[in-house]
Structure 1
Amino acid sequence: MNTPDSTHARAPLPRPTRRRFIRRHSATVRITHWINVLCLSVMLMSGLQIFNAHPRLYWGKYGADTDHAFIVIGSRKQADGLHGFLRIGSLSIGTTGLLGVSQEGNAVVPRAFPSWLTIPSYYDLGAARNWHFLFGWLLVINGAIYLAHGFWRGHIRRDLLPDRDQLAPRHVWREVLDHARLRFAKGDEARRYNALQKITYLLVALVLLPLMVLTGLTMSPGMDAVFPFLPDLFGGRPSARTLHFITASLLVLFVVVHVLMVVLSGFWNNLRSMIDGRYAIDHSGEAR
């Protein structure tokens, strides 16, 4: 009498999963990455303290007796207390509890960005500038080391420059759709950055960060005396200040998206690769 096993082929057994590690980041890339994290964090928080001294942004050269700010973070005193607002052009948005006012002890005070988000937490413009300039120069030195190492060891050319096939419009569009659907590269495809990552990292390293440094230098009277062309390069110091703020905001947006993608595509694996350089891929082609 035939048994079911004798009349039907057995289903193939699943292949055992074997994890293998690849070297993804060199020691120099990992060290400069974490120094960047520290520098940008301190610069952001001290920069917000500096911005609190005059929470208005302008474009072009303006007179001392006029105020034509197109972005303002402020507060209004109403019957029930202070209320924060953000004004962009003629559009005004209430921001009480987020921007414009800050709870300090038992008092509510006018403050563009809250005390818990600034360095130092109390208002001290001089201390904020010292923190900002110190970590700004550390960022410049760290960035120079990263770029020198990247060009010398081929990291920029090998890992960050998109291949010709990656720049094909159809390929880029497919990657955009994959990211929107939270579909991430697996197996050997995870060995290299995709086109969106490469383009974004190049824009940050070669455009946003240098622009932030140059606009920051333009706001320094001492630097303007040494390099008098800087204010004209950006249409005046007020415009440089606005570009500095916009660039910093874009960097914050990049960090938020970057951290989100790290978490969604495999947090521990990505974190490990930036700590000891190892990135795990299993034999079946799925990154872990």
Structure 2
Amino acid sequence: MDSSVSSQRPKSRPKSSQAIFAKIFHWINLISLSLMISSGLQIYNSNPVFGGRAGWQFPSIFLLGGWLAGGRHWHFAAMWLFAINLLFYGTYIFITRRWKHRFLSSSDISAIQKSQNIKRKTYAWHKLAYTAIIPILLLPLLSGLGMYKPAQLHWIVDFFGSWQALRVVHFIFVPTVIIFAVIHSLLSLKVGGSRLIKSIFL
């Protein structure tokens, strides 16, 4: 074969790849969050935060559990899966020191404020979103524990100000995590294209 012809062939772009633990973490997160959101909406419909039982109801297609107790059982089961998954992945990124490449640094803040390099700025925003997910994921766990054991963990209820405020904060997690997922996906597309998104789950 003519070497000049082979040299003119376009080189294949390297495939994006993710560590197996990152794939497992994302899959378990996706499953557990879906279960928690759908069962949480079932709990909301059975005892709404806003407007009492006569308040606005979510369509049954989005619900899991069938009734209040069923929704609670699914919700707590998924919560343990979600919490253990976060614990194991947090330990993993700490031991492997992947946090140095994932979380926001002072140079990233500077890039967001001053950099003229679009790719560098996009990457910095991506790391900001990755860092912001920590309180976003931990807040529903904290508020959920306060709702589950208000007498034993009364300091959590006191931290949020009142029982009603605690429930509102816990419920607001649903639109917050959905908005974050959309932003996280869009930034991932800008940083690594569709190959990066596929590499996270495949």
Q: TM-score range by the shorter chain?
A: 0.7 to 0.9
What residue number does 1:166 align with? 108
After superposition, what is the alpha-carbon deviation per residue over 1:119-171, rounded to whole angstroms, capped at 9, x for unaligned?
13x4x1111000000000110000000100001001112x2123443221113
Indicate whether 1:274 and 2:200 are aligned: yes
Identity of aligned residues (%): 28
The 1:198/1:73 distance shift into structure 2, 3 A limit, reads farther
The structure with the largest strand share of the pair is 1
Deviation at 1:247, TM superposition (A): 2.3
Please, which of 89, 112, 123 is the counterpart of residue 194 of structure 1? 123
Q: Distance in 2 between matches of 1:207 and 1:232?
A: 19
After superposition, what is the alpha-carbon deviation per residue over 1:32-60, rounded to whole angstroms, capped at 9, x for unaligned?
11100000011011111111123234xxx
Q: Distance in 2 between matches of 1:197 and 1:262?
A: 7
Q: Distance in 1 between matches of 2:81 and 2:99?
A: 21
What residue number does 1:231 align with? 157
The 1:24/1:154 distance shift into structure 2, 3 A limit, reads farther
Instruction: Summarize the alignment of residues 1-288 of structure 1 with structure 2, pairs less than 5 Å apart.
Output: 16-21=9-14, 24-57=17-50, 100=56, 112-120=57-65, 122=66, 124-157=67-100, 159-168=101-110, 169-171=113-115, 185=119, 194-204=123-133, 206-220=134-148, 223-261=149-187, 266-267=193-194, 269-275=195-201
After superposition, what is the alpha-carbon deviation per residue over 1:52-73, rounded to whole angstroms, capped at 9, x for unaligned?
123234xxxxxxxxxxx6xx89
The 1:165/1:228 distance shift into structure 2, 3 A limit, reads closer
Deviation at 1:262, TM superposition (A): 5.1
After superposition, what is the alpha-carbon deviation per residue over 1:94-122, rounded to whole angstroms, capped at 9, x for unaligned?
xxxxxx3xxxxxxxxxxx100111113x4
Aligned pair count reads 192
The structure with the largest helix share of the pair is 2
**Is 1:212–1:248's contact at 8 Å kept on the other side of the alignment?**
no
Q: Distance in 1 between matches of 2:105 and 2:156?
A: 35
**Is 2:126–2:184's contact at 8 Å kept on the other side of the alignment?**
no
Q: Distance in 2 between matches of 1:251 and 1:143?
A: 15
**Is 1:46–1:131's contact at 8 Å kept on the other side of the alignment?**
yes
The 1:15/1:137 distance shift into structure 2, 3 A limit, reads same
Deviation at 1:197, TM superposition (A): 1.0
Q: Distance in 2 between matches of 1:15 and 1:242?
A: 61
The TM-score, its normalising length taken from structure 1, stands at 0.59
Aligned to 1:154, what secondary structure does the other structure show?
coil
Deviation at 1:270, TM superposition (A): 2.2
- Structure number with greater Rg is 1
For residue 199 of structure 2, what is the amino acid of its counterpart? S
The 1:142/1:255 distance shift into structure 2, 3 A limit, reads same
After superposition, what is the alpha-carbon deviation per residue over 1:167-191, rounded to whole angstroms, capped at 9, x for unaligned?
21113xx57xx5xxxxxx4xxx7xx
Unaligned runs of 5+ in 1: 1-13, 58-68, 76-99, 101-111, 179-184, 277-288
- The root-mean-square deviation of aligned C-alpha atoms, in Å, is 2.7
